[in-house]
């Protein structure tokens, strides 16, 4: 269940519950909002993608009704923009987190193989055998659990933060664009 609360300063019931979103069969793992905050999309451990109307909390039954919405965040790993992040033959449980870069051109993921992966955004098609669709880098000594892009990046330099699980590390990754079609994944530094 997802609980929606009103936290707007003008609200008479600041922090009060507005609605509940029902429909997932397992624990919620990812949430994204549209730019106007009227629609919420979510993933759960049961590998489900759901859409909800805000503030009613009602599930939107037809995913196609949400196809052309503009999303403020892109953390859902089970959505059209991220279909290509899963290796062939995998069930999708290995990707722990995703985040779109501030420039909107990249999607970063972290996974159970302790890798930090960069894809062009959106990434709707899986990689073909022998033709990877990503840049991958290692740094964590255990599966990484979270990733987020630092704010204030320029178009030529972006910074990604990743959090490991059992290694208890937060790593800072530097991404520098060398040319229009080429990027370099800089070395990670502990934070």
Give the torsion sign (CA, 108, 139, 144, 189). negative
Contact residues for 44 (Cβ-Cβ < 8 A; gap 6+): 24, 25, 26, 27, 28, 29, 50
Q: pLDDT (tens digit, 9 = 90+) per residue, 34-72?
A: 999 999 999 999 999 999 999 899 999 999 999 999 999
DSSP summary character for residue 65 = G
Sort 69 into a burial class: Cβ within 10 Å, 0-12 / 13-18 / 19+.
middle
- Sign of dihedral through CA atoms 70, 33, 85, 187? positive
pLDDT digits (tens, 9 = 90+) for 12-31: 666 788 899 999 999 999 99
Query: pLDDT digit string (tens) for 110-148?
Result: 999 999 999 999 999 888 887 778 889 999 999 999 999
**What does residue 178 show for φ and ψ, rounded to 5 degrees?**
-90, -30
Residue 49: its pLDDT value, please?
Answer: 96
Give the pTM. 0.85
| Cis bond before residue 55 (omega within 30° of 0) | yes
């Amino acid at each position: 269940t997802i609980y929606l609360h009103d936290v707007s300063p003008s609200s008479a019931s600041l922090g009060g519950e507005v609605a509940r979103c029902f429909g997932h069969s397992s624990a919620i793992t990812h949430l994204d909002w549209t730019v106007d905050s009227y629609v919420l999309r979510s993933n759960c451990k049961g590998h489900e993608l759901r859409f909800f109307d805000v503030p009613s909390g009602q599930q939107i039954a037809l995913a196609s009704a949400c196809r052309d919405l503009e999303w403020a965040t892109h953390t859902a790993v089970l959505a059209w923009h991220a279909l290509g992040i899963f290796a062939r033959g995998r069930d999708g449980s290995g990707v722990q987190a995703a985040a779109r870069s501030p420039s909107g051109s990249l999607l970063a993921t972290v996974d159970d193989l302790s890798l930090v992966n960069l894809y062009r955004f959106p990434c709707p098609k899986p990689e073909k055998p022998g033709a990877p669709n990503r840049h991958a880098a290692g740094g964590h000594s255990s599966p990484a659990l979270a990733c987020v892009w630092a704010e204030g990046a320029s178009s030529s330099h972006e910074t990604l933060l990743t959090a490991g699980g059992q290694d208890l590390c937060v790593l800072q990754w530097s991404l520098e664009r060398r040319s229009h079609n080429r990027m370099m994944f800089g070395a990670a530094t502990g934070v």
